[in-house]
Structures are given as C-alpha cells and as structure tokens.
Amino acid sequence: MALITWSDKYSVQIKEIDDQHKVLVGMINDLHDAMKQAKSKEASLEIINKMAEYTKYHFSTEEKYMKRYAYPDYSEHKLEHEKFIENVLKFKEDYEKGKAGISYDILNFLKNWLVGHIQSTDRKYAPLFIENGLN
C-alpha cells in the first residue's frame, strides 16, 4: 500500500498546483517503495535527487504566483519552503555519506510536512490565486 493516497481534501482547487502536489506525493511513495524493496543506494539516491529538484521547482511556482499577486503572507510562506528544503538537502547529504538510511522517521516527516503544509499554508493562497484567474 502506498504511504500517501491522494485525496480531494488535499486539493487547493487549482489544477497546476494540485498536479504538482500529486507528483510530490508520488515521489514520497516512490521513496517508500525503494525502502520496502531494499533498492540499491544508487537507485534510492536518484529518487531523493529528483524529489529535491522537483520540490524546488514546485516551491518556485508557488512563490512566482504569490509575488505576482502580491500575497501578503509571502515571506512566512517562503520561509516554510526554505526550512523544508534545508531538511531535504540535509537528509540527501547524510544519505550520500551513509550517515542516514531511508526510514519511517524520514518518510513520515516528508509525508506529514507535505500534507500539513498543503492543508494549512498552501490552502490560504488559493482564494487570491483563483480570484486572479488561476483554476
């Protein structure tokens, strides 16, 4: 069973953003599969790298719209993104060095951060984005 199953309760009612969130959910599930199937370090690292890159890309999409539409909580939101990226990069570094493995600790951290951030922080920009024509 997948670690995270996409649910309508995660939707921010904007297709481009929902699609990106679904990709991130898929990547966390891929990492979970890699752990369960005891995939090679090389294969796992490829998933971690892709996840880190796609996370940055996703955050830059949200930040672009927040800036464009003068979202008042831009700075706080961006700070949450930066802290998360820092954690992901730290994990990547530790994994590369053999100081960390893929565990339920890290998987649950990724999962809880993502679904929590979507349902609280991301949700708040949705009315402004929708008002400006995103759908």
- Residue 30 or 122: the one with the smaller Cβ distance to Fe ion is 122
Question: Could you say whether residue 30 binds Fe ion (CB under 5 A)?
Answer: no
Rg (the chain; Cα; Å): 15
Contact 91, 100 (CB under 8 A): yes
Closest-by-Cβ residue to Fe ion is: 122
Question: Could you say whether residue 122 binds Fe ion (CB under 5 A)?
Answer: yes
Distance CA 107, CA 130 (A): 32
Question: Could you say whether residue 25 binds Fe ion (CB under 5 A)?
Answer: no
Question: Could you say whether residue 62 binds Fe ion (CB under 5 A)?
Answer: yes
Tokens encoding 114: 């993502």
Size of the site for Fe ion (CB under 5 A): 2
Question: Could you say whether residue 66 binds Fe ion (CB under 5 A)?
Answer: no
Read out DSSP for 80-121? HHHHHHHHHHHHHHHHHHTS----HHHHHHHHHHHHHHIIII
To Fe ion, the closest distance from the beta carbon of 48 in angstroms equals 19
Name the residues that contact Fe ion, by CB under 5 A.
62, 122
